[in-house]
Structure 1
């Protein structure tokens, strides 16, 4: 049975972050993968998004298709000898999200994606063969290519009373055009996608947002938006 996740996104002015964080914290615990600095649990997210030569994924979002998907490679933090990356298909139907993911060593990433070489590949995930096959099928069948690198600092939490809930503050969202997988950990040439704002994401598995989260959203008069880091990055890159 496929278990879809629901998510809501809000574009919020930076000056509201401290008070918004304070209101959320009684209901949250820091994400276990975060590094806590000055009391803030945070890590850097890096994604290379794939698209067809005629930018099918971009245009599907612009046209507002009810059902669509994105392909990306995701890494975290800085590049280390043992760094791993995630090959991910993100499917969206209205506000429901489902992902197929598989982790592979960064050192094998280019061989896997560009040459379909899987020898000596150590994988750690459920349904490894299926998820990897799905990703590679989409890349090859649709002729997908690296298009945009998107990097941001994620402040991440999960619910204290309902651990399936995740609340994240995505800050300093920046991007650059790219045609190379090797650019995943690049820092040069990045430009801000949104200025003086961050993205609040609330993710949950039940059909309805938890009452405490809904109450805070209403208190701050936040309005959900169909925000796409990839789509806005492509539009942003047209001017640079």
Structure 2
């Protein structure tokens, strides 16, 4: 994936489909869309956040503006693989994604602030600012198998289908494979519709015909709400107890 788009601006709608809805949707879309050249492929991500999960907590509160940072590879990476550092922002319903490509070894050192980017661009300046404002570290690994489609008449219309969404808190390294615990229920498929402007009328009719409704869904957000928050609160409680015990001991 040497040729890549570094800047995106679009609307994104998400839908959780049953297996039956997914099969019907794929059949109906054949008249309007094509699967891209990558076919079914695996996307691996590491999401970065502050020690108290500030970024995802803010995101889940549904503010007008929210942002996050992740490191992405297509398939399991090596230290010499091309990976992507991405900042994803959402303002007033519009998604802005900006990303830069680096070798994994370079990207890891850059995100740990052990070195600067080899080439300074507007996007690396934005990432530099992000790293300066937030005390970031890897928090969760997320992987999924994706099929992406693009419109026959409008290539900027894209629909993706994500299955086998899995996550882990340990081995936060893109070279460690894509194994993890399942995030969705068996048979569920996450569909995302990505459009630059207004949704085509035929697509609106199709969603209505199949009784598919949009939902608010974030993969990282689901991890936090269902799993990570419990670990975080438990660690907080243990820290408080240790402080209290330490205080009594000093007394």
> What is the TM-score of this pair, normalised by structure 1?
0.85
CA contact (8 A) 1:150 1:233 kept: no
Residue number in structure 2 paired with 1:186: 176
CA contact (8 A) 1:43 1:153 kept: yes
Cα displacement (A) at 1:98: 0.6
Residue number in structure 1 paired with 2:139: 147
CA contact (8 A) 1:193 1:236 kept: no
Residue number in structure 2 paired with 1:232: 222
Counterpart check, 1:202 vs 2:193 = yes
Residue number in structure 2 paired with 1:7: 12
Counterpart check, 1:220 vs 2:206 = no
Cα displacement (A) at 1:173: 0.8
CA distance in 2, matches of 1:217, 1:188: 32
Q: Deviations over 1:132-166 (max 9, x none)?
A: 12112212321111111110001111111001100
Higher strand share: 1
Residue number in structure 2 paired with 1:171: 163
User: Structure 1: which 5+ runs fail to align?
Assistant: 35-40
Which of these two proteins has the greater Rg computed from alpha carbons? Answer: 2
CA distance in 1, matches of 2:169, 2:15: 25
CA distance in 1, matches of 2:213, 2:48: 29
SS at match of 2:154: coil
Residue number in structure 2 paired with 1:89: 87
Residue number in structure 2 paired with 1:17: 22
User: Structure 2: which 5+ runs fail to align?
Assistant: 1-6, 232-251
Residue number in structure 2 paired with 1:49: 47
Q: Deviations over 1:183-210 (max 9, x none)?
A: 124347611111121111110101x111
CA contact (8 A) 1:75 1:84 kept: yes
Counterpart check, 1:211 vs 2:211 = no
CA distance in 1, matches of 2:44, 2:178: 13
> What is the TM-score of this pair, normalised by structure 2?
0.81
- Taking a change above 3 Å as real, the CA distance of residues 142 and 236 of structure 1, as seen in their structure-2 partners, is same
| Runs of 4+ with deviation above 6 angstroms | none
